[in-house]
Structure 1
């Protein structure tokens, strides 16, 4: 069997979808996804970024992707196959791919690897990138605190990693600021994408009295559960989820990866790619806030938009003291802003949140 046939067979076995082969030596860019491209959330937006790369570069770039890759040995296998099949640049788009990304990168020093939401760069051919989702969570918390009538906000959390804990804290602080009686109830589902588990979590929270449900999971199932229940406010996660607007979905966090993917692909083409860490938010446009619908009172919408603009201009940081830790000990003094190192490794709740972070 020829090498070409062997690689073609491996491609089919992996379920890789490829772009057009319009020139002899296009730059090959791979994407590894933790969920399906049709999840309506996290993976959908990463794939929109991949499509933007195809549109921007045309025949100069070929993209491949594998969807629904579990975090673990399967991820390492998929990354290895991509590298063997000639990928020049591979984006691995889930926190749980960190070990696999660094292990495979060490075996393929000429391939560039980009790991989303991770922090390890063991070799010079690994970069890390993420978005400051907590900025969007602050906006959601502000709206939630105003709109809840039961004073109970439900939160569907995926895994107890710093990214998710930051989001919970940011949402709670800004809900508490406008509504001192607010209570957060958190359900950990230990998955990024499982519509059945996500719907069940939403239903449980609603049955416990939550009339606002936030999510850090990737499907639209919580939106559908809230819509069925009636009278429950939700927010789109990672993608706009606008099909559930103007209510229950009253706004959203949108992850816009396209500019980053285009820039990093260009760097590989130009030979200027270097290992780096990128953590961008609302100001550079990596985090966008979906339309705040008219289901939100006009004065609340105006104050939320003012907060967005203050973050965009750098006038406001969502973690600005005074803020205490859950046990009452001081974390940030009045006017003090959290440093990125603490935020990147955040493993504690802020004062007022109840329950323990799972270990």
Structure 2
């Protein structure tokens, strides 16, 4: 919690336009609304956000009253939902998917006395901040284990939409694997959905048939893990611990820990100290956490994983640390350099070792 508070405080000091939030009367709980792209039971992205909401409520007790709307499609329909939460009296609204960015910005301009926080986007305003986790750090760690555990040197990745956020995770997973096994190749299948268990399963089964024996994902259901267990290969959870769905296949999970951030943001709004920020919290800040390792993880793989977890935790290592080459062999990050955040946030190419092309 302390690290998150420091992160918020530093970002707030850097903000150039303060937001004059009205402090709630002591007896009135702050009404907080959440917009979710999937169902709260998806076991992944939305589930993790809702666990964060519940953790926030537990931490703040009667000082906060929250509500959520689940399975809201990205695009025009989300604007209607966001606007409804604003007119219902919510003083803080979290919109939790990339496709909500423009609708959130539009509604925020129409309701200047309400605070809006958008997950994974890049647009901010006087009453609109952005936040996300550096989950690519977790993807890198999954890759380290995969690179040690694979027998075919072929990994699989079930991907949602070809946006920078997801491309970062595909690349980080591959770079992590290559750091311990230079012969790694990663196959990617894009399902064009955040949550579609049938498509996710089909993609996983296809890559397994093509020789992939360790799978990762940037989708929200446990279908990839379940397919892996049925086929006798390994896979990882994503956004939350999915071990209960496939205990033999689930090696570990890269998880988002939103509760502390949500609680700290609510406190800032109630205190009238909130300012628009652009937060990127990772393992060091406690916003990305790894679930326990499966006993099936070999001692060699566990040792490599723990070594990289340590340097990510103390901030002395970055997953996108050079040398990094793209698919054509062009050097994108020189040895000793780190990819700038601006490039990370707009990443639109595969690193060397990822097969296929990014869909247009």
Q: So what's the TM-score if we normalise by structure 2?
A: 0.91
Q: Which runs of 5+ in 1 are unaligned?
A: 1-22
The structure 1 segments of at least 4 consecutive aligned residues displaced by more than 3 Å after TM superposition are none
Distance across 2 between alignment mates of 1:127 and 1:183 = 38
Distance across 2 between alignment mates of 1:282 and 1:186 = 25
- The alpha carbon displacement at 1:313 in A equals 0.6
Query: In the alignment, is residue 154 of structure 1 matched against residue 135 of structure 2?
Result: no
Q: How does 1:337-352 map to 2 (within 5 A)?
A: 337-352=338-353
- Structure 2 counterpart of 1:54: 57
Q: So what's the TM-score if we normalise by structure 1?
A: 0.91
For residue 184 of structure 2, the aligned residue among 179, 182, 185 is: 182
For residue 32 of structure 1, the aligned residue among 27, 32, 35 is: 35
Q: How does 1:119-198 map to 2 (within 5 A)?
A: 119-121=122-124, 123-198=125-200
- Structure 1 counterpart of 2:300: 299
Q: How does 1:107-118 map to 2 (within 5 A)?
A: 107-118=110-121
Distance across 2 between alignment mates of 1:312 and 1:24 = 40
- Structure 1 counterpart of 2:311: 310
- The alpha carbon displacement at 1:246 in A equals 4.5
Q: Is the 8 A contact 2:184 2:353 kept in 1?
A: no
- Structure 2 counterpart of 1:92: 95
Distance across 1 between alignment mates of 2:181 and 2:341 = 27
Q: Is the 8 A contact 2:145 2:177 kept in 1?
A: yes
Q: How does 1:192-231 map to 2 (within 5 A)?
A: 192-230=194-232
Q: Secondary structure at the match of 2:78?
A: helix
Distance across 2 between alignment mates of 1:174 and 1:129 = 24
Distance across 1 between alignment mates of 2:347 and 2:111 = 32
- Structure 2 counterpart of 1:357: 358
Structure with more contact order per residue of length (Cα contacts < 8 Å, sep ≥ 6): 2
Answer with 52-61 or 274-283: which moved more: 52-61
Q: How many residues are paired up?
A: 335
CA RMSD of aligned residues (A): 1.2
For residue 71 of structure 1, the aligned residue among 48, 61, 74 is: 74
Distance across 1 between alignment mates of 2:352 and 2:44 = 30
Q: Is the 8 A contact 2:188 2:354 kept in 1?
A: no
Describe the superposition over 1:65-114 as per-residue Cα deviations: whole angstroms up to 9, x where unpaired. 00000001111000000000000000000011111110111111111000
- The alpha carbon displacement at 1:146 in A equals 1.0
Distance across 1 between alignment mates of 2:179 and 2:304 = 13
- The alpha carbon displacement at 1:24 in A equals 6.3
Query: In the alignment, is residue 80 of structure 1 matched against residue 87 of structure 2?
Result: no
